[in-house]
């Protein structure tokens, strides 16, 4: 049963509305002042019939506070002082309708019935959005290792920030697509579109038209105007995967979007303005791309305001058991199987494998094993890659005389920096570290002068 709040300082009006609406099977509560109306909204209502002139607070102020508490509640404003300005102000504040006094109670009953449908639709949409966003909560990301805890905390903070650009970096298969969706669905843009564009998947000749749209007659097959993906995502998020593959001419147009929130369609003369968050991702080293003249330095610095590096799986192998359990559960449901998980022997082998394809490779390996097995447990033989190589280490033996661990660590860092020509990212990869970890050791051992 829907609950209707009738807020009016005239008792006769409250009584007449209550009698009519109760006959429609609705639950009615009443308020004679603005503050009483605000307090009763907090108890939970579906619709408010609100007088514009209340003895303590004006109706628009009450309307504003109601909307702050519950944006989905429909409010119908009742007024004997209707003007164009009053109606405009009320609608801007969020009123569903402005009804003039005196009114016909039957007409109000019909209006309430239609308005309640709006309330129900709004709440259903909100519920569906929340359900859609649930898998992309930072807490749902699998992994409790220090690197993953840092990544989840950073994603949570960046998602709720006003940042208009984010750069996701990391090797292929580390979960950049998932991170982009986490950023979108946990932001205030979550009710707007999330548009995924893989720059390398669209031919260079079509990418500009896909991104920015085109005007009729802009080229041979342009028979009508077309809105681009940036325009379609207005208010939401555009995820540009493999940004390092974008040609320089488009990089310049993208830079203008980031700086001015504007662009021209292909063949267009007028600016199109959009409000989008750009999340760019790459598995390439953009610094090297800039040095090689393949990526604009100004675009790189504009994108790199909020960089988030997704760690390689070999740097947080302690998360492998949780990831395997997650995928076993997923594929049990998908394939209608009842595999209990990976055996201790299999898990140990998986934690000593380097996973060059990262989490994507792990997922595919579990999927293959689940498809082919009829056993209750996954064993090492179910994972061909484990027998073939890419171990994390060769298993170094401790000399009888022992070692100075700090000197050994410094020596390994120095060797990695020498082999990488001082490039911190490549040195970190050699050692199975992320950039924060390698930078900490460079500072710790006073090696800053040897790096780039």
What range defines the domain where residue 435 resides? 405-450
If asked whether residues 15 and 40 sit together in one domain, one would say: yes
Across the range 181-208, mean pLDDT stands at 89
The larger pLDDT score, comparing residue 100 to residue 131, is at: 100
Whether residue 25 lies inside any domain: the answer is yes
Of 80, 115, 131, which closes a domain? 131
Whether residue 197 lies inside any domain: the answer is yes
Give the helix, strand, coil percentages of the chain, each rounded to 5. 50, 15, 35
pLDDT at 125: 67
Token code pair at residue 421: 């020509």
Whether residue 52 lies inside any domain: the answer is yes
Of 287, 309, 331, which closes a domain? 309
d(CA 307, CA 438): 17
pLDDT digits (tens, 9 = 90+) for 359-383: 999 999 999 999 999 999 999 989 9
Confidence of residue 394 (pLDDT cuts 50, 70, 90): very low
Q: What percent of the chain has pLDDT over 70?
A: 92
The larger pLDDT score, comparing residue 222 to residue 165, is at: 165
pLDDT at 445: 85
Whether residue 444 lies inside any domain: the answer is yes
Residue 395 has pLDDT above 50, yes or no: no
Whether residue 376 lies inside any domain: the answer is yes
**Helix, coil or strand: residue 96:** coil
Whether residue 325 lies inside any domain: the answer is yes
If asked whether residues 298 and 317 sit together in one domain, one would say: no
Q: How many domains does the chain have?
A: 4
d(CA 5, CA 18): 9
If asked whether residues 224 and 150 sit together in one domain, one would say: yes
If asked whether residues 155 and 304 sit together in one domain, one would say: yes
Domain of 269, CATH number, reads 3.40.50.300
Of 131, 166, 196, which closes a domain? 131
The larger pLDDT score, comparing residue 386 to residue 238, is at: 238
Token code pair at residue 231: 């325009």
d(CA 179, CA 388): 31
Residue 451 has pLDDT above 50, yes or no: yes
If asked whether residues 369 and 290 sit together in one domain, one would say: no
Does the reported pTM lie above 0.75? no
Domain of 98, CATH number, reads 3.40.50.2300
If asked whether residues 346 and 426 sit together in one domain, one would say: no
If asked whether residues 267 and 252 sit together in one domain, one would say: yes
Domain of 351, CATH number, reads 1.10.8.60
If asked whether residues 235 and 109 sit together in one domain, one would say: no
pLDDT digits (tens, 9 = 90+) for 201-242: 888 778 888 899 888 887 777 778 888 899 999 999 999 999
């Amino acid at each position: 049963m829907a609950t209707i709040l009738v807020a009016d300082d005239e008792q006769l009006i409250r009584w007449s509305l209550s009698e009519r609406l109760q006959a429609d099977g609705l639950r009615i509560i009443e308020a004679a002042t603005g503050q009483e109306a605000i307090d009763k909204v907090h108890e939970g209502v579906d619709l408010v019939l609100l007088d514009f002139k209340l003895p303590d607070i004006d109706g628009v102020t009450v309307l504003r506070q109601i909307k702050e508490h519950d944006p989905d509640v429909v409010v119908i404003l009742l007024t004997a002082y209707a003007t164009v300005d009053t109606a405009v102000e009320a609608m801007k504040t969020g009123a569903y309708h402005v009804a003039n006094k005196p009114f016909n109670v039957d007409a109000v009953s019909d209006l309430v019935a239609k308005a309640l449908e709006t309330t129900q639709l709004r709440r259903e949409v909100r519920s569906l959005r929340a359900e859609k966003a649930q898998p992309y909560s930072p807490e749902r990301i699998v992994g409790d290792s220090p690197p993953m805890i840092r990544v989840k905390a950073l994603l949570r903070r960046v998602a709720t920030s006003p940042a208009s650009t984010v750069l996701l970096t990391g090797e292929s298969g580390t979960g950049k697509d998932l991170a982009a969706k986490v950023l979108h669905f946990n932001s205030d843009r979550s009710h707007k579109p999330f548009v995924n564009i893989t720059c390398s998947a669209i031919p260079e000749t079509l990418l500009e038209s896909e991104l920015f749209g085109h005007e009729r007659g802009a080229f041979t097959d342009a028979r009508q105007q077309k809105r681009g993906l940036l325009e379609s995502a207005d208010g939401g998020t555009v995820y540009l995967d493999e940004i390092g593959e974008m040609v320089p001419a488009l990089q310049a147009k993208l830079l203008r979007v980031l700086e001015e929130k504007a662009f021209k369609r292909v063949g267009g003369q007028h600016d199109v303005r959009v409000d989008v968050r750009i999340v760019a991702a790459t598995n390439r080293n953009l610094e090297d791309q800039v040095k090689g003249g393949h990526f604009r330095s100004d675009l790189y610095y504009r994108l790199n305001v909020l960089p988030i590096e997704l760690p390689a799986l070999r740097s947080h192998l302690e998360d492998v058991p949780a990831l395997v359990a997650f995928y076993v559960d997923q594929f049990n449901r998908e394939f209608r199987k009842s595999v209990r998980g990976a055996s201790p022997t299999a898990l140990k082998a998986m934690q000593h494998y380097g996973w060059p394809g990262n989490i994507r490779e792990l997922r595919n390996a579990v999927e293959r094993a689940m498809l082919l097995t009829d056993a209750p447990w996954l064993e090492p033989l179910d994972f061909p890659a484990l027998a073939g190589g890419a171990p994390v280490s060769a298993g170094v033996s401790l000399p009888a005389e022992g070692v100075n661990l700090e000197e050994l660590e410094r020596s390994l860092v120095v060797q990695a920096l020498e082999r990488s020509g001082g490039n911190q990212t490549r040195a970190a990869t050699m050692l199975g570290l992320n950039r924060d970890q390698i930078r900490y050791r460079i500072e710790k051992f006073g090696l800053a002068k040897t790096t780039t």
